[in-house]
Amino acid sequence: MTLKDRTPSPGWDRIFAESGHFFAEPHEALPEMIGLLRARSFRRILDLGCGSGRHLLPLARAGFPVFGFDNSPHGLMLAHRDLKSEHLEAHLQLGDFRDPLPYHDASFHAVLSTQVIHHAEIETIRGLIREIERILALGGLLFLTVPKDKSQASSFHQIEERTFVPEDGPEKGVPHHYFDESELRELLSGFDIFSFTVDKADHYSLFAWRRI
């Protein structure tokens, strides 16, 4: 596990320190993603915002070379512990998506990011999507989920248009940008979206190919 010299976000590190595996079950669409990866013989996969490893483990069990990136040392320690307990491996990187991602151009065949990219203001999100495009091979697969509605707390304060910070609940103090479908599609103009749904948790969920 590689550590990066930047102070981690106190919000999610606090959540993993206090709650452990805050998210434990893989997303319902992960089997579909694995099928798409195998159909195209894709291999290298990045879980952007991997947390405590809920997707790293099943992907590693399926035989994929997996990479995990997160800003929480506690989350990555949990992921490392669970991988080690099953004699599995993943390349874990501590970092902050407000910085350029520490990977070469076209490094990955696939990137998944579940409930992560919305934790920022819109200009940071735009920059992150450009970074995802940069590190994903042409024709590569993106799986992305973001929240559809403000359900993380009972009270919020607004910091910019469509961006709010919960004032209570487990994600207190962590910024949330709430997309509508048209905004999300515009931000992902470098991708060919072939599946756009609302999942069981009432989150926008999409699959897309990196445009060639």
- How confident is the prediction along the chain (212 residues), in pLDDT tens digits per residue? 443 334 444 566 666 666 656 667 899 999 999 999 999 999 999 999 999 999 999 999 999 999 999 999 989 999 999 999 999 999 999 999 999 999 999 999 999 999 999 999 999 999 999 999 999 999 999 999 999 888 878 899 999 999 999 999 888 888 999 999 999 999 999 999 999 999 999 999 999 999 98
What is the amino acid identity at position 144? Answer: L
pTM above 0.85, yes or no: yes
Q: What is the pLDDT of residue 6?
A: 42
Q: What is the DSSP letter of 204?
A: E
The answer to whether 176 and 184 have CB atoms below 8 angstroms apart is: no
**Among the listed residues 59, 85, 61, the one whose alpha carbon sits nearest the alpha carbon of residue 143:** 59
**Separation of alpha carbons 195 and 143, rounded Å:** 10
Q: What is the pLDDT of residue 125?
A: 97
Q: What is the pLDDT of residue 10?
A: 57
Q: What is the pLDDT of residue 24?
A: 74
| Sequence-separated (6 or more) residues with CB below 8 Å from residue 104 | 135
Burial class of residue 194, CB neighbours in 10 A (0-12, 13-18, 19+): exposed
200: how many CB neighbours lie within 10 A of its CB? Answer: 9
Residues forming beta bridges with residue 158, ordered by sequence position: 164
Domains of the chain and CATH, by start: 10-167+181-210 (3.40.50.150)
To the nearest 10°, the Cα dihedral for 112, 116, 120, 125? 10
The answer to whether 141 and 33 have CB atoms below 8 angstroms apart is: yes
The number of helices, as runs of H, and strands, as runs of E, in the chain is 6, 10
- The tokens for 81 are 């512990």
**Among the listed residues 108, 100, 184, the one whose alpha carbon sits nearest the alpha carbon of residue 139:** 108
**Separation of alpha carbons 52 and 77, rounded Å:** 7
